[in-house]
């Protein structure tokens, strides 16, 4: 079974631009979560989508948004990029069975550099 895939793997943008990142979950997984990893803040939860609906959201500004398609693929968008948005963006998928104890499987991440 193929793992979680993320595209692109690397991206360079300039301040003020916007960016869209894509995530394809493991086949059969309906839940997709996004995380931001920075050296100073570690791994921080952005949001989770399940069945095309945002189910949970972290403490990030409205410039960060996402969506999920009917095939469970997900995109996240960051508008008006700031230098501090430079980070590794990780996507994780799972198949919820209740109880929240299912393992999340992470993709390799998209490394975003904002200049």
Partner 1 sequence: DQQVKQNSPSLSVQEGRISILNCDYTNSMFDYFLWYKKYPAEGPTFLISISSIKDKNEDGRFTVFLNKSAKHLSLHIVPSQPGDSAVYFCAATPSLIKAAGNKLTFGGGTRVLVKP
Q: Residues interacting with partner 1, by CB under 8 A? A: 4, 31, 33, 35, 42-45, 48, 50, 55-56, 58, 90-92, 94, 96, 99-101, 103-109
Task: Give the helix/strand (H/E) hosting 112.
Answer: strand 110-114
Separation in Å, CA 80 to CA 20, 36, 105? 12, 17, 29
- Least Cβ distance, residue 49 to partner 1 (angstroms): 9
Q: What are phi and psi of 41, to 5 degrees?
A: -110, -5
| Smaller CB separation from partner 1, 8 or 16 | 8
- Least Cβ distance, residue 35 to partner 1 (angstroms): 8
Helix or strand or coil: residue 85? helix
- Least Cβ distance, residue 101 to partner 1 (angstroms): 5
């Amino acid at each position: 079974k193929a793992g979680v895939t993320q595209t692109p793997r690397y991206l360079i943008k300039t301040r003020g631009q916007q960016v869209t990142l894509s995530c394809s979950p493991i086949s059969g997984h309906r839940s997709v979560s996004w995380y931001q990893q920075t050296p100073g803040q570690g791994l921080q939860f952005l949001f989770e989508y399940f069945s095309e609906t945002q189910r949970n959201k972290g403490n990030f500004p409205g410039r960060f948004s996402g969506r999920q398609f009917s095939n469970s693929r997900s995109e996240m968008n960051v508008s008006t990029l700031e230098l501090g948005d430079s980070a590794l963006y990780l996507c994780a998928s799972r198949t919820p069975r209740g109880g929240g104890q299912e393992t999340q499987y992470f993709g390799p991440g998209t490394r975003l550099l904002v200049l």
